[in-house]
Amino acid sequence: MMPGSSESEVQCAMPFGSPCAGQTTSRFHGESKSLMKVLHVNQYYAPVGGAECYLYEISEHLLRCGVDVAVAYAVRTGREFHVPGREEVHLECLGHCEGVSAAERGERIRCVVDAIDPDIIQVHQLDDPATLELLVTLRPTVQFVHAHSGHFCPGDGKFYRRGATRCSRSFGLYCLVAPYWHRCGRRHPRRLITHVMAVHRWLKVAPRLSRVIVASQYMRSELIRAGLAPSHIVVNPIGVDVMQNGAGEPESPTDEAIILFVGRLYEAKGPQILLAALERLGAPCRAIFVGDGPLLARLKERAERLAPDRDIEFVGWVDRSRLGDFYRRARVVVIPSIWPEPFGMVGVEAMAYGKPVVAFDVGGVAEWLKDGQNGFLIPANDVSHLAAAIERLLVDAALCREMGRRARSLAVQQFNIERHLDALLHIYAQAMETLIDGPMNLDRVESI
């Protein structure tokens, strides 16, 4: 619980121990009538990824706008994720529930939704499409598709680990053999088929959503390729609180030439490529890696072999309340992702702090990173050009300052949280007015 918050335990409107029983925690923040009540549904209750961080921050902003917010989740971890004023329900049967029949599971979910009584449901990440099939029958439901996996890709986010290249195919029969050739997903036959069928099922239920929301035109185009109707998909780029994040003019570049990486330390995010680029720099530098992941030990070992004037620091996972300090200290923020980023939120956050960004041209990155204006957009996997762009910003303080100013301006004008919230509330209002039966072009989806 956050310091100073009050907590009231409220049971769902059902007897404890009944099939519908679920523990609800409610934090009240006033008696004034709200605009509406939104139930957010997500697999995890923890800051484990981009979807969860978005859910945390959008809950805070919706509450400030006078919207009542509830969240239901299937899996809880030890990390603090409470938002004061948000109603929170741990409901394991949102995911796979051992020993619970489909009928009983559905009844539990239905009773909890009726007890919360939202005007609209917003789904984020869910492992089981059957849950989504039920939710769309209970209330107007929209889904924010944060990632490829589980929606139009049964593998590792349209990314071939063998060869470190992007998958350019649409979802279909090829997905049943691709993991064996490209190492792009589960290779155990039963798990592979389960993941493929989950995507197939999601694509069948998606047209029954009131709207599908994405953060980039890139994600919209991928969903259209998978068979969703263009009119059914709304692009709403994620915004940042530009008044909180680096309010005011960008600061002058710091005396230390700090290069910042923020993200999970695994192959697709490219931390190993950033280390390779640092080896090629002709100027001394300091790099800070914020994040954790399976590559950490290998990255530390490789970093120890770099030249003495390369000061590399791995600080691990950092709470979002502390992340701003790292952005402020950075000279440049590097996003060396080699998988197709659905949006690239780290880049927009860096821009809000007035920092230029250097990133590979993958996924939706080019929609906010304009080459030569607010940073440099580099062809994917091009280590030499990545190193050259980083070095240019390290040695040219005037260029760094000017690009930072443009980055900040772009964040304020196009990627602020107020614009994102206005669009989101409009989507909610439309969904509550009418249930849209958006047809899907099924003949564009190969039958499984």
Instruction: State pLDDT tens for residues 301-357.
Output: 999 998 888 999 999 998 888 999 999 999 999 999 999 999 999 999 999 999 999
Q: Which amino acid is at 49?
A: G
Given the structure tokens 């994405």, which residue do they identify? Answer: 214
**H or E element in which residue 425 lies:** helix 417-433
Say if CB 78 and CB 66 are below 8 A apart.
Answer: no
pLDDT at site 156: 87
pLDDT at site 35: 83
Whole-number CA gyration radius for the chain: 22
Between CA 198 and CA 155 the distance in angstroms is 11
Between CA 403 and CA 410 the distance in angstroms is 10
Summarize pLDDT for 117-134 with one digit per residue, the tens: 999 999 999 999 999 999
Between CA 281 and CA 212 the distance in angstroms is 43
**Two tokens, residue 257:** 């030439």
Angle at 208 between CA 203 and CA 210, to 5 degrees: 120
Between CA 191 and CA 180 the distance in angstroms is 13
Angle at 195 between CA 190 and CA 200, to 5 degrees: 125
Q: What is the DSSP string of 212-242?
A: EEESSHHHHHHHHHTT--GGGEEE----B-T
Between CA 93 and CA 116 the distance in angstroms is 16
Contacts of 388 (CB under 8 A, 6+ apart): none
Between CA 243 and CA 249 the distance in angstroms is 11
Contacts of 258 (CB under 8 A, 6+ apart): 285, 286, 287, 288, 329, 330, 331
Contacts of 153 (CB under 8 A, 6+ apart): 167, 171, 175, 199
pLDDT at site 320: 80
Between CA 102 and CA 108 the distance in angstroms is 10
Between CA 445 and CA 439 the distance in angstroms is 13
pLDDT at site 319: 84
Which segments in the chain show pLDDT lower than 70? 1-33, 78-80, 244-255, 434-448
Residue ranges and CATH numbers for the domains of the chain are 10-240+425-444 (3.40.50.2000), 258-415 (3.40.50.2000)
CA distances, 434 to each of 88, 372, 428, 431, 437 (Å): 27, 44, 10, 6, 9
Helix (H, G, I), strand (E, B) or coil at 307: coil
CA dihedral 203, 170, 220, 35 (to 10 degrees): 20
pLDDT at site 444: 33
User: For 117-188, where are the alpha helices, taking DSSP H only?
Assistant: 129-138, 178-182
Say if CB 314 and CB 289 are below 8 A apart.
Answer: yes
Between CA 106 and CA 135 the distance in angstroms is 9
CA distances, 430 to each of 142, 210, 427 (Å): 11, 8, 5
* β-strand partners of 69: 38
If one counts every other C-beta atom within 10 angstroms of the C-beta of residue 123, the result is: 24
Given the structure tokens 């996924």, which residue do they identify? Answer: 363
pLDDT at site 448: 29
**H or E element in which residue 221 lies:** helix 217-225
**Two tokens, residue 323:** 């992340």
Say if CB 239 and CB 415 are below 8 A apart.
Answer: yes
Between CA 414 and CA 416 the distance in angstroms is 6
Mean pLDDT of the chain: 86
Between CA 95 and CA 76 the distance in angstroms is 12
Given the structure tokens 């680029």, which residue do they identify? Answer: 277
